[in-house]
């Protein structure tokens, strides 16, 4: 008897979209390819997603949920400074994964220039969430300007995610780690 779980068509569409949108870009992948690779009909596609843009937003929302869960886990039981290092290391380590193609959110933002587009809303929500996490942790370290520290960390994140696609990802990750420590200079007592 097989214990293989049959994957629901909506989940197959999301999995297929996640893979294709990340590796090839959103605008290069059409609905026909999505339904073919997910092995669903067009009617099934439109039953779950009124448009391709809704699928893009769902893909990014699912990606954000995974990141938020991972960030919560690495923060657990750590001091604020250790948590910042852990969060930034988690993000930086993703640049070493096989098939790395940059940040899901930065890539999507490059394809959706209209800041009022629903996809950009999902991107903005994720960036706001990350900023708030980094700001809270920065404040908890006693940093004199937690807003600025969080903004610097966001810029370091963005730069590292782009640089890792162009340069040696291991060197980029190490530079990110060192730069994070420089934002929170440790004074020996």
The model's pLDDT over 17-61, given as tens digits with 9 standing for 90+, comes to 999 999 999 999 999 999 999 999 999 999 999 999 999 999 999
CB of 156 closer than 8 Å to CB of 88: yes
Q: What is the CATH number of domain 61-183?
A: 1.10.357.10
The model's pLDDT over 137-160, given as tens digits with 9 standing for 90+, comes to 999 999 999 999 999 999 999 999
- Whether 1-49 shares its CATH topology with 61-183 is answered no
- pTM listed for this prediction: 0.90
| pLDDT score at 94 | 93
Distance CA 57, CA 119 (A): 5
Residue 56: how many other CB atoms lie within 10 Å: 23
Question: Coil, strand, or helix at residue 71?
Answer: helix
- CATH 1.10.10.60 describes domain 1-49: yes
Q: Do you know the residue count of the chain?
A: 189
Residue 122: how many other CB atoms lie within 10 Å: 21
| pLDDT score at 5 | 62
User: Where are the chain's structural domains?
Assistant: 1-49, 61-183
């Amino acid at each position: 008897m097989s214990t293989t779980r049959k994957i629901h068509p909506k989940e197959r569409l999301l999995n297929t979209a996640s893979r294709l949108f990340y590796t090839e870009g959103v605008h290069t992948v059409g609905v026909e390819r999505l339904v073919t690779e997910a092995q669903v009909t067009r009617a099934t596609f439109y039953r779950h997603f009124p448009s391709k843009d809704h699928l893009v937003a769902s893909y990014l929302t699912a990606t954000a949920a995974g990141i938020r869960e991972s960030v919560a886990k690495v923060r657990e039981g750590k001091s604020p400074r250790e948590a910042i290092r852990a969060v930034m290391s988690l993000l930086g380590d993703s640049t070493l994964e096989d098939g790395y193609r940059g940040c899901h959110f930065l890539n999507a933002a490059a394809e959706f220039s209209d800041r009022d587009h629903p996809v950009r809303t999902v991107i903005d929500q994720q960036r706001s969430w990350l900023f708030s996490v980094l700001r809270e942790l920065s404040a908890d370290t006693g940093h004199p300007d937690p807003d600025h520290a969080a903004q610097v960390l966001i810029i370091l994140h963005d730069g590292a995610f782009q640089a890792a696609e162009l340069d040696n990802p291991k060197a980029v990750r190490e530079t990110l780690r060192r730069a994070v420590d420089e934002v929170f200079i440790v004074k020996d007592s």
